[in-house]
Amino acid sequence: MSRRRSAIIACIISASSLAALAQEYKSPPKTRTDNVTETIHGVTVTDPYRWLEDQNSAETRAWITAQNEHTQSIIGALPGRGRIRERLTQLLKVDAVTAPFERGGRYFYTKRRADQNQPVYYLRRGLSGKEEVLLDPNTMSPDQTTSIRLLDVTPDGKRLAYGVQQGGEDEITVSILDVETGKELPDHLPRGRLGVSLKPDMSGFFYSRFTNSVGPRVYYHAIGTNTAGDQEIFGKGFGPQNFITESVTDDGRYLQLSVSLSRDKTDIYVQDLANKGPIAPIVKDIDAAFSGQIAGDQLFLSTNWQAPNRRILAVDLKHPARELWREVTPETTSVIDGFSLAGGKIFVSYLENVRSRVKVFDPSGKHVRDIAFPTLGRASGLSGNWERDDAFYTFSSFAQPPTIYHYHVSSGKQEVWARNNVPVKADEIGVKQVWFQSKDSTRIPMFLVHRKGIKLDGKRPALLTGYGGFNISLMPGFSATAAYWAEVGGVYAVANLRGGGELGEKWHKAGMLENKQKVFDDFIGAAEWLIENGYTNPSKLAISGSSNGGLLAGAAMTQRPELFRAVLCLYPLLDMVRYQNFLVARFWVPEYGSSEDPNQFPYIYKYSPYHNVKKGVKYPAVLFVTGDSDTRVAPLHARKMAALVQASTGSDRPVLLHYDTKSGHAGGAPVSKQIEDETGELSFLFWQLGVK
């Protein structure tokens, strides 16, 4: 390392040192082009980096290595990293616990000590019983990138199914644990996209397996037999665009099978296991989304059928004809975000202006009470048993760390069961909601997080994020990034864009298919509002997004490059002309459309970020993040886009790719790696926005 470079690394953040650093590391590695040309519905489309789609070729692997070395030479040398890492360590390396759930008087939950990388599964025999370690993934791999998902527990709490996940893959291997002895049964399922539901008597279990080429299938496995002989019981005729989930009721009577035909259409089948009945459709051929839970002989359904904001229906499984369905809670002006069953009651979670509110009903639909929350925030994970009185849920806000409440269903009383003590001065951080007008004058909500009483001088470093797709809602839950951003004097903004579920199914449909451009318009409108209202300016504004949000960031960057200083684009979709050809992407065609359809190709091609990069345009600084273990969104999107923007940008701002061979979409990264990754990402953003 040269003395000049060492001096740069050692100095504090300043405009001169950052400019020198940018100049020294100006040129990324060169990437060859192959310029594959094809005609799609009469339009000639050239793909200069088609060769980078081959993830396992020697040339692609060498290119990834060169890109990572280039990125590390810049990100790793940025001054201030030590202070960033130190604060992130304080925020993330804390004792963290999740809400417990009860089975047979036993309580199961996870807890991660501050000195651990992965959460450990625990058991208590009785709520105040002694903690017993069940499963500790920290011992499963030297680098602690192996994590565990608890899939199901028998009603008596004596057996459980769990999945072992490597890196950030969606795929898992499945094992069955005897809770009494601590030993595994010989019954295992090999690696795949799997779901499992145990029969209460543990004579066997049902499981779903999804493969990219075939789609979903459901099987039955009898305990003690070879899995090679497992019988396929359901799924024939469904393809890669569908998903199936399975669940057995606690009394073992019913098997419920939910088939996602798309995000907007669900069929539900039920089998009476006790009477060895056939698998029969309960919800079928209705163009609407349904989610169901069974209690006794009643199937409760949350649906947007004839109710864009959703309602709750009840189906008597002994008399399931559609004309006999009963409305439990009607549609209201607030959106139903989900529901749970506990203590003989129905807990319905509503979004009121993107804020959580939970109302409790009896099975007839009579309103019992509301659950009160201390501030604007998000309530999540309410769980309980239909036959028992206690339930648990978690509440948090942007600057208020998660608190777990023990709720008594019969009385409505509640007390704190656990609190994650993150060192955040919540009383110094303000959270508020604003509304702004998008390009077509639609009013869009947005949350702002910043220190109380900051001066609106237009010079604040701002980080704007969003999602806008798949009916997913971005809620005001705790974010270490938001809290840290506020601490350094910045503004953290979350825009609730069309395409999401924050304001109901109409809101979702207003941002899907041919309406997708409206999502990008909303996001750009959020950025313009922040500037016009004195929060920031284009030289101080960064955007970030992951997955569908990565598409959002890529589209905003290519459509309005002058509006942003820096872009953090994580696990993104970017080549929208070819996305449907890879991994599980066929499932997303109802949301985006497909270039294979001559009517959908024009609007997709018009916004596809990869096809709208123009030579010589001065693009913002960009950090693309992806990795081999992303088995949901193909990493080729980030590879191809990084190469294209590097070759095309007319600015001297860096275009970088952080490609981690063990990172993926499904989480599971050890805390130490989360800290290291976020240190790099925040170092990049602080560098570009001049945060000292």
pLDDT level of residue 416 (50, 70, 90 thresholds): very high
pLDDT level of residue 508 (50, 70, 90 thresholds): very high
pLDDT (average), residues 591-606: 98
Give tens-digit pLDDT for 110-123: 999 999 999 999 99
Token pair for 114: 């501050």
User: What is the C-alpha to C-alpha distance for residues 85 and 645, in angstroms, rounded to an integer?
Assistant: 29
Domain with 557, as residue range(s), is 28-89+424-689
Residues 642, 657 contacting (CB under 8 angstroms): yes
User: What is the C-alpha to C-alpha distance for residues 397 and 252, in angstroms, rounded to an integer?
Assistant: 38
Residue 271 lies in a domain: no
Rounded to a whole number of angstroms, the distance between the first and last alpha carbons of the chain is 25
pLDDT level of residue 506 (50, 70, 90 thresholds): very high
Give tens-digit pLDDT for 134-169: 999 999 999 999 999 999 999 999 999 999 999 888
Whether the pLDDT of residue 4 is over 70: the answer is: no
Residue 21 lies in a domain: no
Whether the pLDDT of residue 22 is over 50: the answer is: no
Q: What single DSSP character describes residue 13?
A: P
Look up tokens 């303000």; give the residue: 430
| Three-class HEC string of 377-438 | CEEEEEEECCCCCEEEEEEEECCEEEEEEEEECCCCCEEEEEECCCCCCHHHEEEEEEEEEC
Token pair for 191: 């690696």
Give tens-digit pLDDT for 472-484: 999 999 999 999 9
pLDDT level of residue 2 (50, 70, 90 thresholds): very low
Residue 493 lies in a domain: yes
- β-pairing, 541-546 vs 566-570, is parallel
pLDDT of the residue at 665: 66
pLDDT of the residue at 11: 34
Q: Could you give the 3-state DSSP secondary structure of residue 194?
A: strand
Residue 264 lies in a domain: no
Residues 215, 191 contacting (CB under 8 angstroms): no
pLDDT (average), residues 93-107: 95
Q: What single DSSP character describes residue 343?
A: T
Closest CA to 351 of 303, 396, 393, 310: 310
pLDDT over 70 for what percent of the chain? Answer: 95
- Count CB neighbours of 403 within 10 A: 19
Half-sphere exposure of 618 toward its Cβ, with a 13 Å CA cutoff?
7
State the DSSP string of 424-488.
--GGGEEEEEEEEE-TTS-EEEEEEEEETT---SS---EEEE----TT--------HHHHHHHHT
Q: Could you give the 3-state DSSP secondary structure of residue 196?
A: strand
Whether the pLDDT of residue 426 is over 50: the answer is: yes
Question: What predicted TM-score, i.e. pTM, was given to this entire model?
Answer: 0.92
Distances (CA, A) of 582 to 289, 470, 633: 25, 18, 8
Residue 196 lies in a domain: no
Residue 132 lies in a domain: no
Residue 531 lies in a domain: yes
Give tens-digit pLDDT for 197-244: 999 999 999 999 999 889 999 999 999 999 999 999 999 999 999 999
Give tens-digit pLDDT for 616-660: 999 999 999 999 988 899 999 999 999 999 999 999 999 999 999
pLDDT over 90 for what percent of the chain? Answer: 91
User: What is the C-alpha to C-alpha distance for residues 250 and 102, in angstroms, rounded to an integer?
Assistant: 12
Whether the pLDDT of residue 457 is over 60: the answer is: yes
State the DSSP string of 650-667.
-SSS-EEEEEETT--TT-
pLDDT (average), residues 661-680: 83
Give tens-digit pLDDT for 164-203: 999 888 999 999 999 999 999 999 999 999 999 999 999 9
User: What is the C-alpha to C-alpha distance for residues 462 and 537, in angstroms, rounded to an integer?
Assistant: 9
Phi, psi (degrees; rounded to nearest 5) at 600: -95, -25
Distances (CA, A) of 41 to 516, 612, 619: 20, 18, 30
Look up tokens 């001297």; give the residue: 652
pLDDT of the residue at 21: 45
pLDDT level of residue 540 (50, 70, 90 thresholds): very high
Written as one letter, the residue type at 306 is Q
Half-sphere exposure of 23 toward its Cβ, with a 13 Å CA cutoff?
9
The residues, ordered by sequence, that sit 6+ positions from 273 with a Cβ below 8 Å of its Cβ are 199, 248, 252, 253, 254, 255
Residues 50, 57 contacting (CB under 8 angstroms): no
Question: For the packed helices 480-487 and 81-92, what is the interaxial angle rounded to 10 degrees?
Answer: 130
Residue 163 lies in a domain: no
Whether the pLDDT of residue 337 is over 70: the answer is: yes
User: What is the C-alpha to C-alpha distance for residues 461 and 540, in angstroms, rounded to an integer?
Assistant: 5
State the DSSP string of 243-278.
EEEEEE-TTS-EEEEEEEEETTEEEEEEEETTTT--
pLDDT of the residue at 669: 82
pLDDT of the residue at 6: 33
User: What is the C-alpha to C-alpha distance for residues 377 and 366, in angstroms, rounded to an integer?
Assistant: 26
CATH number at residue 541: 3.40.50.1820
Written as one letter, the residue type at 487 is E
Q: What is the mean pLDDT of the chain?
A: 93
pLDDT of the residue at 248: 98
Whether the pLDDT of residue 490 is over 50: the answer is: yes
The residues, ordered by sequence, that sit 6+ positions from 87 with a Cβ below 8 Å of its Cβ are 484, 487
Q: Which residues are catalytic?
A: 547, 665
How many domains would you assign to the chain?
Answer: 1
